[in-house]
Amino acid sequence: MADQTFRLPDLGEGLTEAQLVAWRVEEGGRVDVNTPLCEVETAKAVVVIPSPWAGTIHKLHARPGASVAVGEPLVTITAAEATQAEATPGTLVGYGPGAPESGIRRKARTAPAVTESSGDVRAAPFVRQLAKDMGVDLTQLTGSGPGGRITRADVEAAAASPAAASSLAAASSPTTAAPSTDGERRISVVGIRKAIARQMVRSVSTIPQFTEFAVFDATNLMAAREEGKASGRSMTPLPYFIAAVVKAVRAYPLMNSSWDESRDEIIVKQPVNVGIAVNTSQGLLVPVLRGADQLELTAIAEKSAKLIEGARAGTLLPGEMSGGTITVTNVGASGPVETGTPIINPPECCVVAFGAIKPRPMVVQGQVVARSGAWISISVDHRIVDGALATEFLTALVSELESISA
């Protein structure tokens, strides 16, 4: 018998750390090969890590809520000599080259989420951790998510109530303390929210970006949608937006590129992998529609709808939220937002934002008439693209949208 220390493996997609959400084992307990050890939340997913060896848990090296870097000790297992020889150092069972996709999953499916108090609740692990940090009892909440799932917003709303504030203050001190009167509360920034913050700082601090705006006439797009509804093929405007972006990128491939900072080179990407910005209870996620340039409109609609649904339900794999070459965000989908200044998703060159489609005055054949229209804004990496090329791309995009036919 000998002690073997299992270190947090490289979970892929360039991730360097993860937050330990929960242990599924305890010190002194027995495990077999592939027994689930713990759940960790990366910047993109919740991952269940299995044991590479059979043996006895000697030591757990991290506590729930802590960040663990790749390569740092995770757990020490007292394993038999024969078992050690069977394990491959550095390779996690179910991960790595040739590993089945089922090795990484967005959420644990073996048991319902349970709070440290009593009662079963429907909540993702990171929501349970957030509730614990904020002193919120999940069993007292009614979830607003799909199927009654408790979301981040539910927890934050509960924490903002006077009762929750008092509970949080009491939990943070071993003695009775007066509730804070300054109205402040602190929210732990971990996992996906932390990754979003880092990505946005990287974007605005390393990419010299500029934004251009245009308005397009959506009359043909809306007519195509109505004809599709009549034939039983209902679509949102998003698939039309994506298809138009793909066609414009074909004419201006430099928009589908990235800047290699280590070599000062521009890398023009061949496939058009469209990232779709999705607002979820966890924050902004960007699932990627791979090979969008090879898909027909119907396939774009079907695949993008599944990606959006998966992002909101928390069931996407990490690989489904990486590898984008250009991003699309529909800022008008949640309300009457005209436009905005989108921030580039590094290392991409361009992000395209679409505002709300609504009636607006337009000049048609010298007459001012009410037509359906919307704003488009693009933010571009100025190291790669100059203003003239960005204008040509935006003009081509407007032309593609206005020439849509049913």
Which residues are marked as active site? 382
The amino acid occupying position 131 is: A
Using CA of residue 254, residue 258, residue 260, residue 264, what is the dihedral sign? Answer: positive
Residue 319 in 3-state DSSP?
A: helix
How far apart, in whole angstroms, are the C-alpha atoms of residue 234 and residue 219? 17
Number of Cα atoms under 13 Å in the Cβ half of residue 349:
26
- The token pair at 70 is 């790749």
Q: How many CB atoms lie within 10 A of CB 389?
A: 14
DSSP type of residue 107: S
Task: Lay out the sheet containing 55-60: strands in order across.
Answer: 2-7, 73-79, 55-60, 30-31
Query: 150, exposed or middle or buried, with CB in 10 Å at 0-12, 13-18, 19+?
Result: buried
Q: Is the peptide bond before 287 cis (omega within 30 degrees of 0)?
A: no
How far apart, in whole angstroms, are the C-alpha atoms of residue 127 and residue 150? 8
How far apart, in whole angstroms, are the C-alpha atoms of residue 20 and residue 60? 11
For the chain, the helix, strand and coil percentages under 3-state DSSP, each to the nearest 5: 30, 25, 40
The H or E element containing residue 352 is strand 350-354
